[in-house]
Amino acid sequence: MRYIYSMTKKERYQFVLNYFETHVPQAETELIYDNPYQLLVAVILSAQCTDKRVNLTTPAIFEKYPDIPALSTATFDELFPLIRSISYPNNKTKHLIGMANMVMDDFNGEIPITVPELVKLPGVGRKTANVITSVIDHQPNMAVDTHVFRVSARIGLTTNAKTPLQAELQLIKNIPKDKVHIAHHWLILHGRYICVARSPKCGECALRPACKYYQKITAA
Ligand code: SF4
């Protein structure tokens, strides 16, 4: 394979997006959900926790609290045992109850699907709001988690980004609006299974021709 070391940033983006579009056309979240309420609960629970573990936890929560009105009536002592097995159960219990109460009080029981409104909810930061709006409504918002941050930097989609917000702004500036929502999943899945944190599996990665990290290690 001939490596195109002198790719411009535009060409690099095009290469990466073309690859994913052709080979991973159906990328989506690995969290299991049926509606915006279930996705919001799952994403709040997923902070510092694997999707796999969250998926083991949510069925019991959704059975007991099938919607926002039901969750808003939960007490800490009732909800806590259902999420005890995931990370930060204390805070997450408080956040879920607080979130449901605020949706009832301030949003007439309807989960808002805009970033500025979502970030007002307890337990919902910019990353979570970006996930909800891009997954539910395909809004061009890029949630930058640890995988997206690492993979984007290695490939060279981002340059000297020091924070998730800096990475987010660089990515949405360069990715066509209609592809941002799926690009988020492409980068996460690539980071989870190929471009893993400790030892990226470059030998089996089709993005090598566009990857700055690979260029650097092979030039050494
Ligand atoms: S070539 Fe290596 S570092 Fe670059 S994206 Fe692929 S796995 Fe990651």
- Ligand 1 atom index nearest CA of 200: 7
CA of 197 to the centre of ligand 1 (A): 10
* pLDDT band at residue 3 using 50, 70 and 90 as cut-offs: low
Cα–Cα distance measured from residue 3 to residue 182, given in angstroms and rounded to the nearest whole number: 26
Higher pLDDT: 2 or 58? It is 58
Query: Is the separation of the CB atoms in 144 and 127 below 8 Å?
Result: yes
Q: Where in the chain is the domain with CATH 1.10.340.30?
A: 36-137
**What backbone phi and psi angles, to 5 degrees, belong to 94?**
-65, -40
pLDDT at residue 36 above 80?
yes
Taking domain 9-28+143-219, whether its CATH number is 1.10.490.10 is answered by no
CA of 82 to the centre of ligand 1 (A): 38
pLDDT tens, position by position, 11-32: 999 999 999 999 999 999 999 9
Q: Where in the chain is the domain with CATH 1.10.1670.10?
A: 9-28+143-219
What does the H/E/C string look like for 34-48? CCHHHHHHHHHHCCC
| 36-137 CATH | 1.10.340.30
pLDDT tens, position by position, 59-115: 999 999 999 999 999 999 999 999 999 999 999 999 999 999 999 999 999 999 999
The reported pTM is: 0.91
pLDDT at 119: 98
